[in-house]
Homo-oligomer: A and B are copies of this chain.
Amino acid sequence: MNTGRHEFELIAWIRQQTRAHDRIPLGIGDDTAALAFPNPANCLVTVDMLMEGVHFTMPPATPRQIGHKALAVNLSDIAAMAGRPLAAVISLALPRGVPAKLAEELYAGIEELADQFDVAIAGGDTNSWQGPLVISITALGETTDRGAVTRSGARPGDAIFVTGGLGGSLAGKHLDFTPRINEASKLHEAVDLHAMLDVSDGLAADLQHIVEESGVGVILEESEIPISPAAQTAAEEDGRSAWDHALSDGEDFELLFTVSGDDAARLLANSPLEIPLSRIGTVVDGNEMQLRTAAGKVIPLPVSGWKHLL
């Protein structure tokens, strides 16, 4: 990680902020960090880059919210594997001339979420340039004893579930959401998760990932999709239906997963979660994505194209 002199001060500040962690025998201040993984046979690694003007605009987003989101989207990916996050490294392109306070707030947003989930900040690369703000975080984690839950394990007969409510995330949730680390962990203990991911591209688009990776078809129940209040508000504003928002807005960062019929009954009778859990459809043979309408008719699922927020 090489450094311009004008970045040294910020890095010294970050180094001061970053607490020692027994998982990080060597942290910020050398050429690499060294990590001691508790269960290193199954390291999870994921990276997400957020770009100003694409994934956020500032304002209305605050630097603290951007820092939060940059780590949260990564933790959401680790949640999607039912994994436990352990460490993260951060690379940053700061617009030249922004006040030092901005970078500090950005890191404060990262640190706050890192502390909440005991994620060690192991290092980073801080740069400045004439361009917009870019932040890329790589998160490292580990699987639990039950292993990683992939996208490819859905089987015909499975029930499809989703946590929380969907749609309208752009109004605020995409900046403030809590990654479903704890919920994924509780589900992983309670039942045999066949396939799982986090809803980032939108319910329909993400369901398609499971369809493709598992080699199955799905039938969604129109009347069971959990529509968030934010989707209702968005619908009132733009005239599209709230249901359409729930299906295709994306950036919900809820868990979408499939389990056997028996486990589905168990979850519906006694959910281990404190947030809503909805059974929204069924995995079937084939490779089609279909919708059972409220009137009981089965039709091809109308997939709205995923659009970049903004």
Residues of A at the B interface (CB closer than 8 Å) are 1-5, 25-26, 29-37, 40-49, 51, 53-54, 73, 77-78, 80-81, 83, 87, 89-93, 122-125, 127, 129-132, 134, 136, 138-141, 143, 148, 150-152, 197-198, 200-201, 205, 213, 250-251, 305-308
Contacts and interface: CB of A to CB of B under 8 A. Distances in A.
A185 B140 CA distance: 26
A151 B30 contact: yes
Given A47-B90, A136-B136, 20 more contacts: A1-B46, A1-B77, A2-B48, A3-B201, A5-B205, A26-B150, A29-B213, A31-B46, A31-B78, A31-B198, A33-B44, A33-B45, A34-B42, A35-B43, A37-B37, A37-B40, A40-B40, A47-B89, A51-B93, A51-B134
Contacts of A251: 2
Given A35-B45, A46-B32, A308 B4 contact: yes
Contact of A32 (B77, B92, B124): B77
A91 B47 contact: yes
B305 A5 contact: yes
Given A2-B73, A134-B93, A46 B33 contact: yes
B32 A83 contact: yes
A1 B32 CA distance: 24
Contact of A34 (B91, B92, B148, B307): B148
B44 A41 contact: no
Contact of A78 (B32, B123, B134, B151): B32
B90 A200 contact: no
Nearest to A2: B200
Given A31-B151, A40-B43, A1 B48 contact: yes
A30 B81 contact: yes
Contacts of A5: 205, 305-306
A18 to B, nearest CB: 14
A44 B32 contact: yes
Contacts of A54: 127, 129
Residue from A25, A54, A83, A87 whose CB has the most chain B CB atoms within 10 Å: A54
B151 A87 contact: no
Nearest to A43: B35
B80 A31 contact: yes
A72 to B, nearest CB: 12
A150 B27 CA distance: 11
A41 B30 CA distance: 18
Residue from A41, A43, A51 whose CB has the most chain B CB atoms within 10 Å: A43
Contacts of A48: 1-2, 91, 125
B47 A43 contact: no
Contacts of A25: 42
A164 to B, nearest CB: 17
